[in-house]
Structure 1
Amino acid sequence: MMNNTIFYPDQLISLIETHGSKMSFHKGDYIYHPGDETTYIYTIKKGQVFISRMQPEGVELATNLISEKGIFGAVTLFCGPKVHATYAKAKVNTEIYKISRKRFETLILENEDIKTEWMHWVEIDRQRSITKMRDNIMYGKIGALCSTLIRLSNSFGEETAKGIVIKTKITNQEMGQMCGTSREVVNRLLRELIQQELITIENKVITIHNIEKLRHMINCEDCHIDVCQVF
């Protein structure tokens, strides 16, 4: 919903595509694993990628669902070599471009406009992380679910006569990973939202009928559309 208002770092994306190399991944393929060196920065040309980490208790937490024009990978620049704490996995068949971190650092230093755009993108990404943590910590599992549904609606939503249709299929298992909880808990919480007539689900496609109620449940701060995203 409202995708035309979302900030996309078009100059950065063009830089990666122009100076990088193209790669293709099948659904379920891993792009990198925890412990791999942060060698490359990636942007998605087509498809979707989950960025996830495995918690010590064995719970998988999906921190980001990135789609076209998303940037991920070695995004901590000018800090020397590091290793990934997360893994990146293709949710669907996906095409990406990658560029080496060192090459990317050199290129953005050569262009003030691109450097400014990078700082803008990093700040938005930081704010997204902070607000996700707030919703998950302050409002528990139902808060995490409502927050995720709202963010999905902003990233993939389409307004219709029935409500906001989230135009990407999300399984309950994936929803649980995005909320940091189990599939069973998500099943129960989604049933409660369905009983309250706040949402409906058909063929894994979610329609939100009362997004204002979802926002009220997490005391939504009416964040800018750039911040309230899943990527």
Structure 2
Amino acid sequence: MDNTALTNYLEQKKFPIVTKEYKKYLLYEGIQDHHVYILKNGVIKTSVISRDGREFNLDYINDLEVVSLLKDEYSQFIDAPFNIRVESEKAELYQIDRVEFWKDINQNFELQIYVKNYYRERLLKSMKRTQQMLMNGKFGAVCTQIYDLHDKFGIEFQDGILIDFVVTNEEIAHFCGINAASSVSRIMHQLKSCGAIKMHDRKIFIKNIELIKDNIIF
């Protein structure tokens, strides 16, 4: 998504920046807050907690992006829609009063276009992810997650693609709705055995991206 309008807006306004360290939470699901947060640099993870206490991961974010949903433009305080946790050594985020942000959006046509595209992409991504999780089964769900990670963190080498970010089997399980990390371990072993991936310094190295894609219903 084109972030030019958002970048220009942030450069003009000089908003305060919040810094959070590794594994620290910016927001907890259901806790009221009156700010909009935009990731400046670092990696964060969004997740929700099910009624039975299980965590379900939604996404990793590592680009300039609004990371707390905007909701309506009139409420000063809103309930955080999900947990936001830092996954890199540290992360820096712009902190903006949400009512002020909405006023600025309403006065800036380019920002309005950005927000429309933001919601559209979020909706399409959510629908696609739900479809993939329902249709692919556990094996396909893990392959889908590996493919998503390659999209966000992949570095191409002559003999494959390194996912330059440490992701545990437990985290992959939480992304895929799989109860036990041991199930992901078995699937990862199968992918290693068939030559699709290998591990390098605790990071996933994709040796054959086509073998990963063959197990995904796009």
Asked which structure has the greater RCO (Cα within 8 Å, sep 6+), the reply is 1
TM-score of the superposed pair, with normalisation by structure 2: 0.90
Displacement of 1:76: 2.1
Q: Contact between 1:163 and 1:210, CA under 8 Å: does it hold in 2?
A: yes
Contact kept? 2:74, 2:99, Cα under 8 Å: no
Q: Is the 8 A contact 2:163 2:205 kept in 1?
A: yes
Query: Which amino acid in structure 1 is aligned with residue 3 of structure 2?
Result: P
Task: Please say if residues 38 and 74 of structure 1, whose CA atoms lie closer than 8 Å, have aligned partners that are also in contact.
Answer: no
- How far off is 1:14 after superposition? 4.0
Cα deviation, 1:134-176, whole Å, max 9, x if unaligned, reads 1111112212211111111111111111211111111222222
**Counterpart mapping for 1:1-231 below 5 A:** 7-16=1-10, 18-78=13-73, 80=75, 81-92=77-88, 93-181=90-178, 182-220=180-218
8 Å CA contact 1:16–1:43 kept in 2: the answer is: no
Residue correspondences, number:
214
CA contact (8 A) 2:37 2:96 kept: yes
| Aligned residues of 2:160 and 2:205 also touching (Cα < 8 A) | yes
Question: Counterpart of 1:73 in 2: which secondary structure?
Answer: coil
Shift of 1:66: 0.9
Shift in Å, 1:196? 0.9
Q: Report if aligned partners of 1:16, 1:99 keep a CA contact under 8 Å in 2.
A: no
Gaps of 5+ in 1: 1-6, 221-231
Task: Tell me the secondary structure at the aligned position of residue 78 of structure 2.
Answer: coil
* 8 Å Cα contact 1:25-1:95 kept in structure 2: yes
Identity of aligned residues (%): 22
Deviations 1:99-122 (A, max 9, x none): 121111100110112111211122
Distance 1:144 1:13, change over 3 A: farther
Q: What corresponds to 1:3 in structure 2?
A: none
Question: 1:194 deviation in Å?
Answer: 0.7
Contact 1:13 1:43 in 2 (8 A): no
Q: Please, which runs of 5 or more residues in structure 2 have no aligned partner?
A: none
**How far did 1:38 drift?**
4.5
Cα distance in structure 1, aligned partners of 2:174 and 2:74: 29
CA RMSD for the aligned pairs?
1.7
Report the Cα distance in structure 1 between the residues aligned to 2:78 and 2:161, rounded to whole angstroms. Answer: 40
Paired residues of 2:68 and 2:81 also in contact (CA < 8 A)? no
